[in-house]
Amino acid sequence: MIALLMVLPWIASLLDPSFAHAGNFAIGLMLTAFVSGALLLSGYTSRRHRANGIELLLIMVLFWSFLPVIAAIPFIGASQIDGLVAAYFEAVSALTTSGGTMLSAPQAEATPILLWRAVLSWLGGLWTLVFAVAVLAPFGIGGITLIGSPLLQHEENAPLSSRLGRPLRLILPVYLLFTVLGIIALLAFGSPLVEATCLALSAISTSGMSVHEQSLADLLSGGGQGVMALLCFIGSISVPMLMVLTLGREARSSFQVTEMRVFIALVLIYGGITFFTLPNSSGIGVLWQSISLHSTAGFNFLATDELAGWPIVWVMLPVLIGGMALSTSGGVKVMRAIILAKDLGSELGKLSYPSSVHPLSLEGRHLQDRDFNAAWAFTAIFILFVSVGILLLGLFGTTLAEAWPIVLGALTNSLAIAGHLDMPLGFAAMSGGLQITIALLMIAGRIELLILMVLFTSSFWRYMR
């Protein structure tokens, strides 16, 4: 898929009269096609072997850490990217849909570079959904489950290609449909083709990578901003509801789901509080910005410097919660927040009435102790990673005020928001070691942290031996 999608920016580089990036994309395309073919041929005899849990977890880690190495090759030719480390950072940020970028002025880059960034973001969003259904939900990682959905149906002895291929075939048409509709809508509201394509790909994947350093309020018309906000919202809802939205009359039932109603309520409440309390926060742009933050896309829908005037804690609060489970957005996820809130409420009730019984359920499913334990385990590990990340950035000379928004943005895959805040040090000015550290934090956030902890267990290494 990397090789096939690289054809698009390669063609764009051939259409450029200067041919400035044709060589980089040609080399990247040939190398990617060669590696893909070699892997396919070497693994052909084991294609029908049963996939076990360790393999599913390992393929996620390899996807987010190894593929950016190949995807980074075309970025080396960008005028604002200096070296392989910076190119790897850009590729990781795009594939993990984090949105942090080395491009301080994206509009100064050539079309092939901008298109490749957007394509990688789109691909990363697609595989985030596939891995969520094929790995996170079956294992109940962090309390995230999906019961009774056709997305989860697979044979017990199914090979790896089937475990990943079946949800891919179900999700790809719906994901592609909303992407195409978004591009058409942006074109209808006056955006040029390249701009509309890049923005739609970035919005549906909630990566937040823009084509201009200006805010969307200055770049797009009012209708275009509404389309972008809608795409960010679609990207932040769970896969089953994303598929239900294409079923016409049955789409109404998705808005009766508790997680969807809580998510919409959070967006509206946050936008309302912001509208009435923060200065210079008026108009529909506040609602669009609320959607952008809750979806962890991180687009700026306000005037260019207006978002930088918001309290940093207030900006990062919705990013911390994030969007719905099994979506392209990052963060703790609304479902986990609901599970934790229910457990806290139950414990408080027991303090008043110790002998009382509080059966808890979510969407008709009785919540068990393992659900609460998984949600609390994820929260504890998330706090641990934030603490360790801040300490690591401190070793590179980053102050606490600068470090915690970057670490939180990387772990919640919402690093695009950092480009709109008053950050004295841009990613391009950071050292190579600091860029690699932030890239690893983005990978850790995308693989849901708990999977990363598996790599440090004795059972994993016994399996590898």
Q: What is the pLDDT of residues 32-42, one digit of tens each?
A: 999 988 988 88
pLDDT at position 183 is 95
**pTM above the 0.85 mark?**
yes
Structural domain includes residue 145: yes
- Cβ proximity of 392 and 437 under 8 Å: yes
Contacts of 346 (CB under 8 A, 6+ apart): 358, 360
> How far is 195 from 199, CA to CA, in rounded Å?
6
- Inside any domain, residue 338: no
420-434 average pLDDT score: 78
Q: Which domain holds residue 221?
A: 2-249
More confident residue, 243 or 44: 44
In a domain? residue 278 = no
Q: Would you state the structure tokens that stand for residue 89, as one six-digit string?
A: 């950072």
pLDDT at 205 over 60: yes
Q: What is the mean pLDDT of residues 301-322?
A: 86
Residue 391 within any structural domain of the chain:
no
Per-residue pLDDT, 88: 94
Residue 194 CB-density burial (10 A; 0-12 exposed, 13-18 middle, 19+ buried)? middle
Q: What is the pLDDT of residues 49-87, one digit of tens each?
A: 777 777 788 888 888 888 999 999 888 878 888 888 999
Q: Which residue has the higher pLDDT, 303 or 203?
A: 203
243-255 confidence digits (pLDDT tens):
655 555 555 555 5
**pLDDT, tens digit, 9 for 90 and up, residues 155-194:** 666 777 777 888 888 888 889 999 999 999 999 999 999 9
Higher pLDDT, 349 or 383: 383
In sequence order, the 6+-apart residues with CB closer than 8 A to the CB of 222 are: 284
Q: Token pair of 204, please?
A: 């549906």
Single-letter amino acid code for the residue at 238: S
- The pLDDT of 263-287, averaged and rounded, is 87
Q: What is the pLDDT of residues 83-102, one digit of tens each?
A: 889 999 999 999 999 988 88
Q: What is the mean pLDDT of residues 273-289?
A: 84
Confidence grade of residue 144 (pLDDT, cut at 50, 70, 90): low
- CA dist 299 and 256 (Å) reads 28
Determine, yes or no, domain membership for 230.
yes
- Are 405 and 418 spatial neighbours (Cβ–Cβ below 8 Å)? yes
- Tell me, yes or no, whether 102 lies in a domain: yes
Q: How many domains are contained in the chain?
A: 1
- Residue 45 maps to a domain: yes
What does the alpha-carbon distance between residue 418 and residue 406 come to, in Å, rounded to a whole number?
Answer: 7
Q: Is residue 165 part of a domain?
A: yes
pLDDT band at 238 (very low <50, low <70, confident <90, very high): confident
